[in-house]
Amino acid sequence: IVIMDVVTDQAQDEYWRRARYRESDDPVALAYATPKIRHIAQIVDLNQARILDVGCGNGVFTSLFSEFSPHVVGLDYSDHMVRRNPCGKVLRGQAEALPFGTNSFDVAFVANVLHHTLDPQRVVDELARVARGHVVIVEPNRLNPVMFLFSLLIREERGGLRSSKGFLEKLLLSCGLQVLRCSAMGMISQNNTPAWTVPLLRVFDREIWCGEYLIAIAKQPELRRSTQ
């Protein structure tokens, strides 16, 4: 039994103010994010898509999505992170109550947010509401020893102890989505990976059970999409 201790929104905001994040164009940050975007693009058509990047942070995924489409919007709870995001369409808001109408986007994407929230199901419900096409989730993989230890030691990251393939699939299925793929990949993190190790770790930029991150891709049922 894993005992959870997820901290409050105010404490999380203070955590992000203290966090030392590599900038979105840093080579290590790009080595972390680019393989994940390529993996997603194999399943989801990103070209000219309306994409929402929830928990966009300082913009590493927002920037890469913008290479596929000019219709990318970023949202983050942390005002500090929003100010650091170089992309043009970024606003502050809560993932649990997205300030967008139903079916506003083709793709709703969220990375490394669910383990920081008290109600991950509500976040996924909101993603499903605003996405007429696909919902994509990136979360730490608790089966990875480094991620498990990181989640255990850092209070603000402790929600990662619940992060598993089955957990993400359940969240997606609970709001009526069809799960297309859920797999782990990669051994590079945006902030904690030393730059000199990146060439060695690129060999893990593929699906592997002990990868540091889970990527879950789901879509709206065809019946729902065809009637809207």
Give the pTM.
0.90
Residue 43 makes CB contacts below 8 A (sequence gap 6+) with 180, 181, 217
Q: Which amino acid is at 86?
A: P
Q: Is the Cβ–Cβ distance between 131 and 212 less than 8 Å?
A: no
Taking 80 as the threshold, does the pLDDT of residue 7 lie above it?
Answer: no
What is the Cα–Cα distance from 27 to 33, expressed in whole angstroms? 10
Q: What is the mean pLDDT of residues 199-206?
A: 97
Q: Amino acid identity of 145?
A: P
* Total Cβ atoms within 10 A of residue 89: 16
Q: Identify the sign of the CA torsion 115, 121, 125, 131.
A: positive
Share of the chain above pLDDT 70, in %: 89
Instruction: Write the pLDDT tens digit of every residue in 107-120.
Output: 999 999 999 999 99
1-5, 85-89, 104-108: which range is least confident on average? 1-5
- Residue 180: how many CB atoms within 10 A of its CB? 15
The mean-pLDDT minimum among 9-13, 69-73, 156-160 falls in 9-13
Looking at residues 77-106, what average pLDDT do you find?
92
Q: What is the pLDDT of residues 21-80, one digit of tens each?
A: 899 999 999 999 999 999 999 999 999 999 999 999 999 999 999 999 999 999 999 888
pLDDT value for 18 = 63
Three-state SS for 87?
A: coil
Q: Is residue 228 pLDDT above 60, yes or no? A: no
Q: For the residues 103-107, what does the mean pLDDT come to?
A: 98
* pLDDT bracket for residue 14 (50, 70, 90): low
